[in-house]
Each structure stands twice: as C-alpha cells, then as structure tokens.
Amino acid sequence: MDYICCNSTYAVDGDKTSLSPRYPSGDFFCTHSDSLAYQQSWWAVDLQEVYVIIGVDIFGRTDCCTDQLANFDVEVFMPTCTSNNWNYVEDGCKINCHYQAAASQRITVSCPSNTKGRYIRIRRRDTSYLVICEVEVYGNRIINFHKSGKGMKFIPNPKRNNIRKQILMDFNELTRKMRCKFHYSGKNNNKHIHPLYLQSGHIPPRGNVALENYLIDTKLELSKLEVKQFRDNLSKLERKALIELKHNDSIYVSKADKNNTTVIVNKIDYIKAGTSHLNSNHYLKINEPTTNVVVKSIKDIVENLYRKTEIDSQTYNFLKSNNESKHGHMYLLPKIHKLNLEIINEAFRDGQIVGNINIPYRPIINKCNSPTRGIERLLNLI
C-alpha cells in the first residue's frame, strides 16, 4: 500500500545510499505506507520463482523515525497462497519467518531451516506507518520447482535382478519366522526375553504339512510375479551431473546438522576443520591403533566378571560376541543453521562471490562395531 509520495519499488531499487531524505531537494527514496485505522500496513515482493529463503535484510531510515520500522512480521508464502489478495492471506498458508518488536534502523532476519516460498511480506501488527528504504532477500533458487522437481518420485532406475533377490530374501526370513512360531508354540511363551539376547538366526526343522504346503505354494506364486522395469525419470544432463559429482574428489557431500539438507563443501576445508578439531587439547595423538589391546582388555574383564557370577551367561555372550572389532571414526556435520546472514552478505556482493564462508561443524564419533559398543549398550540398560 503506497503513500502518495513513495512508491513500493523504492524498497528494491538497490540504492542503499538514500536511507534518509536528500537535502535541499527533499527527495525521499523509501517506500512509505498510508495509515488507515481499519487496516494493517504491509509491503510485499514477488521473487518470481520459489526459493529456499535463508534470510532477509531490511533497511529503515537513518535520520529519524525508527518507530516506523517496528512491531512487524516477516512472512513467506508459496505461489498458491496469495490468491491476488495480500490483505487476507490465511495464517496456515504462510510461514512466519520473524517478528520484530523493537524499533531499528536495520534488521537482519534469519529464517527457519528449509523455509520455502516465492513471496515475502513485511506487515505491521498495528495500523501505524511502515517505512522501508531497502530490502534484500537471500536464498537458494529451487530450479524448475513445478516442472522437474522429483520429490518422492525420484527414480534412479533400480536393477530388476536386485528386486527379485530382495523379494526372495524377505520371503526366506518370513519362512524361518513362521516355522519358529509353529515349532515353539506353547513352549515357554511367558519366558522373559533377555534385553541383551543375541538373535541366532536358528532355522527349525520342517514338521507341519499344512504350513509347508502353504509356504511352497506362496513361493511358487512369488516366482510368477512379473517385476516391472521402472523407467528412469532422470534427464541425460541430470545423470551426467550426478556422475560428475560422484567422481569429483575436490568436494565432500554430507547431510546438514539438525536437518536433512544436502551440503556440498570443499574437501580441503573439510579436512582442515577436522584436523583443527583433533589438534585441540581434548585429544591425545597415539603412534599406532590400540584396538587389539582394548579388545583383549575388555575380554579379560568380561571373563573375570563371569567367573565371579557378577554377570549372567546372556550378558557374557553379548559382551564377548564382537570378534571383528574396529576402531571408531570421526566425521563432521555442517552446522548451516548457525550461519549468520551478515557473514553470508560479506561473502556475496551484487551476486558475485567475494569471500569464503567458514562453516562451523559438529563432530560425530561413529563407534559402530568398536570394542566398547557392547559395554555402551549395557550401560544404557542400567
């Protein structure tokens, strides 16, 4: 909604040098709303395409009137939300990126992770004036959002042989469980299952004619299933790009910390971040792996506890079952939700890359199949 002097386009004219009236001419290059007692003041912009919105930088007047940039919401809408009526957008259709209560000359807003939209609206919660001199929106464009977005329909063309093999494996496991259910039916049904019970994969002998006939008939029917070949829905350029990314040794692809966003980082920077973390005072460098020594120590302790009857046989078997132990390894998850919008602004100026972004990482120690994995599970039960 425009006041008679100040067009809404002034907030996106790219001019941040006119954040106050020019004297002596008095030229004013900020958007200025009218003040209506029955309606909230607002300003909106159409980004033309759908973006993942990272943040919004809002500039107000620098000479006075900071109260005219206060008590407002920054809202993000998808293309289906506006219905050509900016005044009455349903609350469930928009994402509230930020609420600003205090007056300010400039507000830098960081939107919640994975905020998507095409329209940005800045709306006061009262009917006072809204004055905005410049707005900058930062985000990542979702290429061909409506036409080529795969979503859950991403099909990289699975092999037909693998599908048949998986069906057979699943049926064999079902067969084993049904035979176990019949063979042990009525035997120790009330027996408490030990929390550290190791599944043996035991296959009981065949016994019941009706059950075996059912399993044979089912297997025959499964063998008649015609496995359809799924058609690849990737274009040649998309497949070529995936292959190039797969064989690009200069990058590291990872999921982000706190969400499932895919992050591509420079491998050299990734290694430097990991090395810097390991060189801190919290770690001690050793000359060679001590995995075998740790395995032997744990084995001796477990056997000693069992001899003293301080642990039962199930716990003993569980703790000594890891015969192929390997040392754990560390990897890093990029904490992109911690990035400050001002840091991004410093690295990107006028659409050009002018600096580097130092991404913070969260170290994760993967101890699957490590010597202490069984002990950790035991401690979790205590």
Over the stretch 137-175, which tens digit does the pLDDT of each residue have? Answer: 888 776 544 434 455 455 566 556 677 788 888 998 899
At how many degrees (to 10) do helices 209-223 and 160-183 cross? 170
Q: Which two tokens stand for residue 79?
A: 């293309």
Does residue 81 sit within a domain?
yes
Does residue 148 sit within a domain?
no
Asked if residue 380 and residue 249 are part of one domain, the reply reads yes
Does residue 288 sit within a domain?
yes
The CA distance from 277 to 333, in Å, is: 13
Q: Tens digit of pLDDT for each residue in 65-117? A: 888 888 888 888 876 665 555 665 555 567 888 888 888 888 888 888 778 88
More confident residue, 230 or 58: 58
**Is the distance from CB of 101 to CB of 70 less than 8 angstroms?**
yes
The last residue of a domain, from among 229, 254, 286: 229
**Is the distance from CB of 124 to CB of 130 less than 8 angstroms?**
yes
> Which amino acid is residue 265, in one-letter code?
V
> What is the share, in percent, of the chain residues with pLDDT greater than 90?
4
Count of domains for the chain: 3
Q: Tens digit of pLDDT for each residue in 72-86? A: 888 888 766 655 556
pLDDT of residue 139: 83
**Is the distance from CB of 342 to CB of 356 less than 8 angstroms?**
no
Does residue 69 sit within a domain?
yes
The CA distance from 71 to 100, in Å, is: 5
The CA distance from 29 to 134, in Å, is: 9
pTM of the complete model: 0.48
Does residue 1 sit within a domain?
no
Strand partners, 22: 27
**Is the distance from CB of 263 to CB of 253 less than 8 angstroms?**
yes
Q: Which residues constitute the domain of residue 77?
A: 8-141
The residue assigned the tokens 């580097």 is 356
Asked if residue 363 and residue 225 are part of one domain, the reply reads no
Asked if residue 45 and residue 14 are part of one domain, the reply reads yes
